[in-house]
Amino acid sequence: MYLTDTHAHLYSEQFDDDREEMLARAIAAGVQAFFLPNVDKDTIEPMLALEAAHPGVCYAMMGLHPCSVNETYLEELAIVRQWLERRTFCAIGEIGIDLYWDKTHVAAQEAAFLKQVEWALEFDLPVIIHSRESTDHLLGLLAPLRRERLRGIFHCFTGDRRQAEQVIELGFLLGIGGVLTFKNSGLDAVTKQIGLEYLVLETDAPYLAPTPHRGKRNESAYLLRVAEKLAEVKGVSLDTVSQITSQNAGRLFGLQG
């Protein structure tokens, strides 16, 4: 069995005291690949250092997170662009719109998102999308851009069935994380209706720890809890969940086939 954590901020300073032990626990739990979303210029160095320390295990993305979009976002975007020209990344992310924390910079968030989607098409990379309280907004922005090579993940998907179907229709996958294990999230009823071929697993560590670790620091070893819950919801084996979701991730990030 092997699991793929498609979204984990393992370079976060929250892991500074035990990063290697945390990774060892995840690998012992069956997680064999970790995809690291970038946030902004300050996370690039620790992210690339972690990737360099674990080649073929940790994979870096490049992008500007919507919560880091502010008055200086054009300078941030210029740095993203320089990195995209300098080396290959597995994806552009995480990018998107966040209407939960701060609505001050919505127009700039939208501009930064669209620019980075344009670069994803130029560099033929998937996009990893942060859609907090903005799923319909983002679906509306992406619909006119729909084409064969536009692909990616709606990370930490928590929407309803209609939104799930629209994401799939657009050619994207749904990133399923710890929220699936929360009581009354409703995400179990939605994922039950969606084919496994459209789902990937993620932790979003150090955030969004699954039950029974809810509210505490999340880590990639807990991906197993999400996988077990998904197997229960879908009425399939843990092996089936791990195999299909890892294949989906591998195909999206260009690691196989």
Which residues would be at the binding site for Ni ion (CB under 5 A)? Answer: 37, 204
Query: Of the candidates 44, 39, 8, which has an alpha carbon nearest to the alpha carbon of residue 23?
Result: 8
Q: How far is the CB of 36 from Ni ion (least distance, A)?
A: 10
Q: How far is the CB of 240 from Ni ion (least distance, A)?
A: 27
User: String of b and e for 183-213 (b: at least 16 CB within 10 Å)?
Assistant: eeeebbebbeebebebbbbbbbbbbbbbbeb
Nearer to Ni ion, 37 or 178 (CB): 37
Q: How far is the CB of 8 from Ni ion (least distance, A)?
A: 8
CB 7 within 8 A of CB 156: yes
Q: How far is the CB of 236 from Ni ion (least distance, A)?
A: 27
What residues contact residue 194 under an 8 Å CB cut-off, 6+ apart?
161, 164, 168, 174
Is the bond into 206 cis (omega within 30 degrees of 0)?
yes
